[in-house]
């Protein structure tokens, strides 16, 4: 147990939490529009998994992508500017919340057609294999993508060709408002989906950032030596609504259920571990709050002060010259 | 050198794969089977299974895989056994290939060629006989090519493989066996450049892919009656070389557009709109469209023939347009 290491993980999760809380605020002020899907409650999955990567590994995910992008180290100012639709955003304001991309960090994007990015992940892994490299791909998606045909086509190809991709199913138990038992025949046996293709699979507590990292370090290390797909089911929970259009609990789940799950808040769990080992105290966490608060404030200020794209940008990037 | 359309495609891919290590071929039966239509004959022997990949029958999956590989800097050629099966890959083509560059603000690009035969062959019935080019042309971010001759097929496929954008490359089963002169050695045909395939003065006929061959035959028939037809092949459907089309219409004053696809919202409607916008004052008569009939393709030969434009229909339409019917 290393103090710096644990506090660094905590800080990353805290950054995502505070960044998204601020995004929700900015949404209420109409500074951010469109769809905004918050990751609050699920931070330990992205932070734990991405902590196991090298800078040259690929990350790809679905539309609930702020957490993964920040965990990959993207500049919070550029991410916030993208949410604001500003020219200084990661994607020049053309992608928005659901389509963050940070190519230099090999963060290959958020995709908003459920299941559609799993084949892309196999392609990134294919490129790694083609070039005989020892990189890996982390592909995040919700359990709502599991019944989609494209997910199965991707599993089959990855298994057939031993492609170095870790499929990380963030199982938050609700596909938008549909609880898994109403949408997924194998809802109680998610791992079997992968195993039926011969893909090794393990479940992990997605609220425990250390457990997620431990598993991913082990898996990624193995895949670098012996490439092939791996499937992780990270059991997690979304504390907020599906999007900003959906209240925290909605009609499809109870307030009591959400409150019950909040007792296993990933930030709280890690903080408890840190304090139990006497590695940091109230003052340290207050200090982290101050630092992260400053980062978020600076990000918002950057987004506010940035210009909107000029009309000329409309036709840029449709085609490459 | 006299080559078949099939051999011209084979040469284009072979030469480009020798030149550029990033290019690989992926699709159903492209390897050991040598291609469903033998376009990739000899490829697995020359390039090996890492660059010539036989896939399961999962168009969305392997097209998506190829797009992912392109995002990582490779340059895939996806062979769709027919473009009808491309419908299963439409999510990948439309939502990913054409949008990733834009959504990422230009950080990523998707250099990929997706090729295969469109249009009807002989009596393959409704699910294997469609001309879907209008679907592809509708989407920003995609180049669409439909060459009619072996020369253009080779030159344009090589250009497509040197382009950094997603390209739909539309072939035709009934063109694979057709022959034509192809220069020796390396050459390309630029994307977005139409060609006047036959010069004339009375009327312009625009046709592409296998409809071009019909148009040329019809022009021959009409020449016997001293009707001078100019036949223009856009070759690239998007971006369309409007300049060349308009120049021809300005000369002849009349335009007939031939396409095998359905009339409603078909490609010819777009060509007509563009020509009206730029050459309205030069037209001596309304533009005439000859299209496939608006029905699912029937199996029975007589019905199928009735559903697809033919030489006689083009001849009749031109005569009527010149008020000679």
What pLDDT is attached to residue B325? 64
Q: What is the pLDDT of residues B50-94, one digit of tens each?
A: 999 999 999 999 999 999 999 999 999 999 999 999 999 999 999
Contact criterion met (CB < 8 Å) for B103 and A109:
yes
**Cβ <8 Å between A318 and B67:** no
A130 touches chain B (CB under 8 A): yes
Quote the tokens at residue B250.
């300005």
Position A295 confidence tier, pLDDT thresholds 50, 70, 90: very high
B7, B28, B59, B171: the catalytic one is: B59
Buried b (16+ CB within 10 A) or exposed e, B174-188: bbbebebebeeeeee
Q: Which residue from B minimizes the CA distance to A58?
A: B72
What pLDDT is attached to residue A176?
Answer: 95
- Checking if the pLDDT of B141 tops 80, the result is yes
| B contacts of A87 (beta carbons < 8 Å) | none
Q: Residue B239: is the preceding peptide bond cis (ω within 30°)?
A: yes
What pLDDT is attached to residue A250?
83
Q: What mean pLDDT is predicted for residues B260-269?
A: 98
Q: How far is CA B193 from CA B143, B167, B219, in A?
A: 12, 15, 22
| Chain B residue with the nearest C-alpha to that of A121 | B68
Q: How far apart are CA A140 and CA A117, in angstroms?
A: 9
Within 10 angstroms of residue B139's Cβ, the number of other Cβ atoms is 18
Q: Does A188 touch chain B (CB under 8 A)?
A: no
What is the model's pLDDT at position A321?
87
Q: How many residues does chain A have?
A: 321
pLDDT, residue A258, reads 95
Residues whose CB falls within 8 Å of the CB of residue A288, separated by 6 or more in sequence, listed in order = A7, A10, A11, A14
By the CB < 8 Å criterion, does B124 face chain A? no
Neighbours of A186 (CB within 10 A): 13
A1: confidence class by pLDDT, cuts 50, 70, 90 = confident
Kindly report the number of other CB atoms within 10 A of residue B286's CB atom: 11
Which of B48, B61, B75, B239 to probe the A interface (max A CBs under 10 A)?
Answer: B61
> What does the alpha-carbon distance between residue A34 and residue A91 come to, in Å, rounded to a whole number?
16
Q: How many Å separate Cα A136 from the centre of its chain?
A: 16
Question: Would you call A114 an interface residue with chain B, using a CB distance cutoff of 8 Å?
Answer: no
Angle at A26 (CA atoms; ends A25, A28), nearest 5 degrees: 65
Instruction: Judge: A149–B70 Cβ closer than 8 Å, yes or no.
Output: no
A124, A153, A155: which to substitute to probe chain B, counting the most B Cβ within 10 Å? A153
- Which residues is A235 bridged to in the sheet? A171, A205
Q: Classify A35-72+104-284 by CATH class.
A: alpha beta
Active site annotation includes B75: no
Contact A91 B91 (CB under 8 A): no
pLDDT at A249: 77
**Per-residue pLDDT at A66:** 98
Q: How many CB atoms lie within 10 A of CB B65?
A: 33
CATH 3.40.50.920 domain residues, chain B: 195-321
Residue pointed to by tokens 């459907």: B237
The CATH 3.40.50.970 domain(s) of chain B lie at 2-181
> Does A123 sit within 8 Å of B66, measured CB to CB?
yes
Please indicate whether residue B128 is annotated as part of the active site: yes
> Coil, strand or helix: which one is A164?
coil
Q: Which of A134-138, A243-247, A280-284, B267-271 has the lowest mean pLDDT?
A: A243-247
Residue A247 pLDDT exceeds 90: no
> Model confidence over B12-50: pLDDT tens digits?
999 999 999 999 999 999 999 999 999 999 999 999 999
Q: Which of B15, B128, B138, B217 is catalytic?
A: B128
pLDDT value at position A74?
A: 98
At the topology level, CATH places domain B195-321 in Rossmann fold (3.40.50)
From A117, A122, A317, residue closest to B106, measured CB to CB: A317
Tell whether the model's pLDDT for residue B263 goes beyond 90.
yes
The CATH H-level (homologous superfamily) assignment of domain B2-181 is Thiamin diphosphate (ThDP)-binding fold, Pyr/PP domains (3.40.50.970)
Please tell me the distance from the alpha carbon of residue A57 to that of residue A134, in angstroms, as a whole number: 9
Q: 3-class SS at A71?
A: helix
Encode pLDDT of A179-197 as tens digits: 999 999 999 999 999 999 9
Distance of alpha carbon A148 from alpha carbon A153, whole angstroms: 9
Q: How far is the C-alpha of A299 from the C-alpha of A314, rounded, in Å?
A: 25
3-state SS, residue B224: coil
Question: Residues near B180 by Cβ (< 8 Å), separated by ≥ 6?
Answer: B2, B3, B5, B8, B149, B150, B151
What is the Cα–Cα distance from A299 to A67, expressed in whole angstroms?
A: 15
What region, left, alpha or beta, does residue A111 occupy, with left being phi > 0 and alpha being psi -120 to 50 degrees? Answer: beta
Angle value at C-alpha B223, between B220 and B228, nearest 5 degrees: 110
**How does pLDDT run across A211-241, given as a tens digit for each residue?**
999 999 999 999 999 999 999 999 999 999 9
> Do A113 and B24 make contact, defined as CB atoms within 8 angstroms?
no
User: For B156-184, what is the mean pLDDT?
Assistant: 98
Three-class HEC string of A24-59: HHHHHCCCCCCCCCCCCCCHHHHHHHHCCCCCCCEE
φ and ψ at residue A282, rounded to 5 degrees: -40, -50
Do strands A174-175 and B52-54 pair parallel, antiparallel, or not at all (unpaired)?
unpaired
Write out pLDDT tens, residues A97-137. Answer: 999 999 999 999 999 999 999 999 999 999 999 999 999 99
Taking alpha carbons only, the member of A174, A300, A146 closest to residue A248 is A174
Q: Looking at the partner chain, which of B56, B72, B102 has a beta carbon nearest the beta carbon of A94? A: B102
What percentage of chain A carries pLDDT values higher than 70? Answer: 100
Predicted-assembly ipTM surpassing the 0.85 threshold: yes
CA proximity to B6, closest of B182, B166, B161, B163:
B182
Percent of chain B scored above 90 by pLDDT? Answer: 99
A157 at B interface, C-beta within 8 A: yes
Q: Which of B54, B103, B191 to mutate to test the interface with A (most CBs of A within 10 A)?
A: B103
Residue pLDDT, tens place only, A145-182: 999 999 999 999 999 999 999 999 999 999 999 999 99
Give the per-residue pLDDT at A246: 87
Whether B74 contacts B46, CB under 8 Å: no
Q: What does the radius of gyration of chain B's CA atoms come to, in whole angstroms?
A: 20
Please state the rounded mean pLDDT for residues B294-308: 98
């Amino acid at each position: 147990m290393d103090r710096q290491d644990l506090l660094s993980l905590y800080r990353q999760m805290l950054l995502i939490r505070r960044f998204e809380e601020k995004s929700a605020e900015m949404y209420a002020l109409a500074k951010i529009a469109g769809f905004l899907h918050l990751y609050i409650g699920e931070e330990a999955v992205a932070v734990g998994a991405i902590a196991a990567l090298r800078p040259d590994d690929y990350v790809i995910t679905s539309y609930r992508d702020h957490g993964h992008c920040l965990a990959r180290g993207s500049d919070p100012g550029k991410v916030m500017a993208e949410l604001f639709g500003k020219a200084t955003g990661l994607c020049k304001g053309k992608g928005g919340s659901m389509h963050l991309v940070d190519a230099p960090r090999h963060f290959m994007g958020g995709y908003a057609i459920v299941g559609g990015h799993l084949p892309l992940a196999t392609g990134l892994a294919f490129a790694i294999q083609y070039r005989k490299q020892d990189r890996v791909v982390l592909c995040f998606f919700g359990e709502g993508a599991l019944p989609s045909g494209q997910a199965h086509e991707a599993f089959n190809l990855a298994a057939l060709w031993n492609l170095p991709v870790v499929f990380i199913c963030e199982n938050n138990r609700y596909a938008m408002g549909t609880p898994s038992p109403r949408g997924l025949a194998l809802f109680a046996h998610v791992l079997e989906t992968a195993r039926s293709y011969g893909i090794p699979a393990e479940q992990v507590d997605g609220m425990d950032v250390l457990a997620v990292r431990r598993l991913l370090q082990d898996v990624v290390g193995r895949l670098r030596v012996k490439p092939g797909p791996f499937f992780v089911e990270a059991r997690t929970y979304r504390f907020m609504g599906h999007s900003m259009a959906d209240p925290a609990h909605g009609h499809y789940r109870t307030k009591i259920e959400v409150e019950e799950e909040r007792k296993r808040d990933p930030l709280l769990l890690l903080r408890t571990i840190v304090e139990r080992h006497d590695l940091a105290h109230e003052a340290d966490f207050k200090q982290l709050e101050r630092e992260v608060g400053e980062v978020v404030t600076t990000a918002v200020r950057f987004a506010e002060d940035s210009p909107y794209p000029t009309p000329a940008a409309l036709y840029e990037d449709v085609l490459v010259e | 050198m006299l080559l078949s359309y099939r051999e011209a495609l084979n040469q284009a891919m072979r030469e480009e794969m020798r030149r550029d290590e990033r290019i690989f071929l992926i699709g159903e039966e492209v390897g050991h089977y040598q291609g469903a239509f033998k376009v990739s004959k000899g490829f697995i022997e020359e390039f090996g299974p890492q660059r010539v990949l036989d896939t399961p029958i999962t168009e969305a999956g392997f097209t998506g895989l190829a797009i992912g590989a392109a995002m990582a800097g490779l340059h895939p050629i996806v062979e769709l056994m027919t473009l009808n099966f491309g419908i299963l890959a439409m999510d990948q083509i439309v939502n990913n290939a054409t949008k990733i560059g834009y959504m990422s603000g230009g950080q990523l690009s998707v250099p990929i060629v997706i090729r295969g035969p469109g249009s009807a062959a002989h009596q393959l019935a409704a699910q294997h006989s469609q001309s879907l080019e209008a679907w592809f042309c509708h989407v920003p971010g995609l180049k669409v090519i439909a060459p009619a001759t072996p020369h253009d097929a080779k030159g344009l496929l090589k250009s497509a493989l040197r382009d950094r954008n997603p390209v739909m490359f539309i072939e035709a089963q009934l063109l694979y066996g057709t022959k034509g002169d192809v220069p020796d050695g390396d050459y390309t045909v630029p994307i977005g450049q139409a060609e006047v395939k036959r010069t004339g003065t009375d009327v312009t006929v625009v046709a592409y892919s296998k409809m071009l061959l019909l148009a040329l035959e019809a022009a021959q028939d009409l020449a016997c009656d001293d009707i001078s037809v100019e036949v223009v092949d856009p070759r690239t459907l998007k971006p369309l070389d409007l300049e060349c089309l308009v120049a021809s219409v300005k000369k002849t004053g009349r335009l007939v557009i031939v396409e095998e696809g359905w009339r409603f919202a078909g490609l010819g409607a777009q060509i007509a709109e563009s020509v009206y916008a730029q050459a309205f004052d030069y037209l001596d008569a309304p533009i005439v469209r000859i299209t496939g009939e608006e029905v699912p393709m029937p199996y029975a030969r007589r019905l199928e023939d009735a559903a697809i434009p033919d030489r006689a229909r083009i001849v009749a339409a031109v005569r009527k347009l010149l008020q000679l019917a």
